[in-house]
A and B are shown apart, each in its own frame.
Chain A
Amino acid sequence: MSDDVRTAVSGDEPALIPYITAGDPSLAATAEYVEALAAGGADVIELGMPFSEPIADGPTIQDAIQRSLEAGTTPERYFELVESLDVDVPIVCMTYYNLLYQYGESGPDESDYERLRRFVARAAEAGVSGLIIPDLPVDESDPLRRACDEYGVDLIFIVAPTTTDERLAKMREQVSGFVYVQARLGTTGAQADVSDATHESLTRLAEWEVPKAVGFGVSEGQHATEIVEAGAAGVVAGSVFVDIIAGGDDVANRLEAKARELKQGALDGATTDTPKAGK
């Protein structure tokens, strides 16, 4: 098992985990943006692989996915991009289950594990450290878990405000890398404030040894501060970066500045005396 992601999220400082969609608006631009995010203080980068039916994403990221698909991004081109990246932060691939399931030529009567293994092997070879598959709940994840374990790729699960204690117990056995704590109901998208559900979720996960990162709706340094004060080891932000890309103006510099703002916000949160859960 690779420790890249876990180490990056549970270091001495609170971690910043930005999301952007690979291929939005082009794969060449993505390489530049990833470097900008790393320069701005990103500790892990969540790189979306576009799928045509992104049911867990809101309109901002859905539009990014559409732009990426129109630019011709495919899973294979995504992996080639990851191979070409020259950054020192782990890359986590966020995508939907059907793309994993369809990857490569499948033989007759192949098991799910055999099909998924091809994707995971290629992802590991390309340098992907972890996977987030939002339409794969823990109940259906055994075959992918096996493939990920085999190749040392983390399988990161999302805990929602609605997740029951029974389901949390199931997830605790499966989780690796970090736990992605969904701060509010709904889909991805920048919001004006941090939801109360964040505090409640972190309390419920306090005993878990794996680090917790909070996302869904994070857009300002102050949000990052509040999240870290609430006990999170990391902050995930996506739509706010995707909005900058969609704006199309001085993108790399603005991405770097926004990353810096969120990272500083997270650092400010860590200067309080609140104990860091999961460190």
Chain B
Amino acid sequence: MSTTKFGEYGGQYVPEVLMPAIEELTDAYERYVLDNEDGFMDEFRERLADFGGRPTPIQRADRLSERYDAEVYLKREDLLHGGAHKLNNALGQVLLARYMGKERIVAETGAGQHGTATAMAAAHLDMPCEIYMGKRDIRRQRPNVFRMRLNGAEVNPVTVGRGTLKEAINETMRDWATNVEDTHYVIGSIVGPHPFPRMVRDFHSVIGEEIRDGVQKKTGGLPDSLVACAGGGSNTMGTFHDLVPDEEVSLFAVEAGGDELVVDDEEGVAPHSASLSTGSEGVLHGARTKLLQDADGQIVESHSVSSGLDYAGVGPELSHLVDEGRVTPVNVDDTAALEAFHRLSRTEGIIPALESAHALAFLEDELGPDADGEHDLGEVIVVNVSGRGDKDLEAVIEETEKRDLDAAPSMEVMYE
């Protein structure tokens, strides 16, 4: 059996009722994904190309390259079908569920991108699908809720707690525990019990493979730095995985610094989602990893302007790579992310997801006109634009109005 851990992190901490399903899934992962039994991976890659639109381009960002005096390339996962990298994993898992003979799909979603991708994959592969989504996220991400419904998925609102991603994960685990015999839970990031962190990473590793090929063609070499935002960490590991062995490539995981990097122990709230930068080791949702928790081990509520990054944990493999010194965790705050959102929209004609805007804001922090330049990013930098920002427009309008942002257009003109 493949190891369940990355160093100290990972494992399988779930109720006994789920263990047989996890063993069954581990077996299926090893046979179909790792050994390509029955041509599973061939079918997956073919569907990713034909249905998903892979490969996605590596685009040189001319204005950003000029601004930062470097060769800045954008990995355009926003151009994948559905508008985010999430389809890689959703399609992989729904297809795997079909190979395993499962009859029903459940999934959780935060920003709605994973739910949308799962609903699309399920419709594509003709599987019934139910999505759990926190009530607060439903409010923040209405267009995605509608897209899920359009693709035939049921959307179940989760009202406990603050109604965000972690509550939705709890609720989906409960559904899975009740219907485990015929249902597969499509976990949306590199989190959860083994084999999910490895399997989800493998489905997304096509991102890094395409970066390697694309940059090689354009520059004849490897990039100096890869930059990707990190909530749970699926686009991060998808971007990094293929290049982890190439030690000359620096890997930056950009977390949501939210309002500020503190935890209010009294209220049990963190006004950020930076588990890699500030979290401590613990066990959540089936895996040991770095978490935002109080001194007693209660999980605190996280925050980010981007609901896709708003999660109190992070993938165990990323925690391990950070401890090993291979991945550098950094973070930017909500305002910097919004600035970067507007900047890319105006200068390159690409409206990025608020998640991806965090990765772009890191470039500004490091290389922009007011930068302090703590890190050496080198000459050739690839930023993963993990998704497109259409889903975030309502949140961006609301948050932009609260702030005086240099890069933002005048909202008054837009209302006239």
A63 cross-chain contacts in B, Cβ below 8 A: 160
Most chain B CB neighbours (cut-off 10 Å) among A66, A76, A139, A167: A139
Any A CB within 8 A of the CB of B297:
yes
Q: Given A56-B177, A185-B178, A102 and B282 touching (CB < 8 A)? A: yes
Within 8 A of B (CB), among A57-110: 58-59, 62-63, 66, 69, 74-76, 96-99, 101-103
Any A CB within 8 A of the CB of B228:
no
Number of chain B residues whose Cβ lies closer than 8 Å to a Cβ of chain A: 37
Any B CB within 8 A of the CB of A26:
no
Any B CB within 8 A of the CB of A203:
no
CB distance from B276 to the nearest CB of A (A): 18
When the two chains form their complex, are residues B181 and A53 in contact, meaning their CB atoms are under 8 A apart?
A: no
Checking B23, B160, B293 against A102 with a beta-carbon cut-off of 8 angstroms, the contacting residue is B293
A187 cross-chain contacts in B, Cβ below 8 A: 15, 174, 177-178
B6 cross-chain contacts in A, Cβ below 8 A: none
CA distance A76 to B13 in the complex (A): 24
Checking A55, A66, A140, A161 against B15 with a beta-carbon cut-off of 8 angstroms, the contacting residue is A55
Chain B positions within 8 Å of A, measured between CB atoms, are 11-21, 23, 160-161, 166, 170, 173-174, 177-181, 268, 281-286, 291, 293, 295-299
Q: Given A56-B15, A102-B296, A186 and B20 touching (CB < 8 A)? A: no
CA distance A62 to B268 in the complex (A): 17
Checking B18, B20, B23, B170 against A54 with a beta-carbon cut-off of 8 angstroms, the contacting residue is B170
When the two chains form their complex, are residues A53 and B285 in contact, meaning their CB atoms are under 8 A apart?
A: yes
When the two chains form their complex, are residues B297 and A99 in contact, meaning their CB atoms are under 8 A apart?
A: yes
CB distance from A175 to the nearest CB of B (A): 12
When the two chains form their complex, are residues B17 and A140 in contact, meaning their CB atoms are under 8 A apart?
A: no
Checking A58, A96, A139 against B12 with a beta-carbon cut-off of 8 angstroms, the contacting residue is A139
Q: Given A62-B160, A162-B20, A185-B178, A134 and B15 touching (CB < 8 A)? A: yes
User: 10 more A-B contacts (CB under 8 A) besides A99-B297, A167-B19?
Assistant: A58-B174, A98-B284, A98-B291, A102-B282, A134-B16, A137-B14, A157-B16, A162-B181, A185-B17, A187-B178
Q: Given A66-B160, A137-B12, A185 and B286 touching (CB < 8 A)? A: no
When the two chains form their complex, are residues A135 and B283 in contact, meaning their CB atoms are under 8 A apart?
A: yes
B281 cross-chain contacts in A, Cβ below 8 A: 101
CA distance A162 to B12 in the complex (A): 16
Checking B11, B170, B179 against A140 with a beta-carbon cut-off of 8 angstroms, the contacting residue is B11
Closest to A54 in B: B170
Checking A54, A69, A98 against B282 with a beta-carbon cut-off of 8 angstroms, the contacting residue is A98
Closest to B19 in A: A137
Any B CB within 8 A of the CB of A158:
yes
CA distance A74 to B20 in the complex (A): 33
Cβ contacts A to B, 23 pairs, < 8 Å:
A51-B298, A52-B298, A53-B284, A55-B170, A55-B174, A56-B15, A66-B160, A98-B283, A99-B296, A101-B281, A102-B296, A102-B297, A134-B16, A137-B13, A137-B14, A137-B16, A138-B16, A159-B16, A160-B17, A160-B19, A162-B18, A163-B16, A163-B17
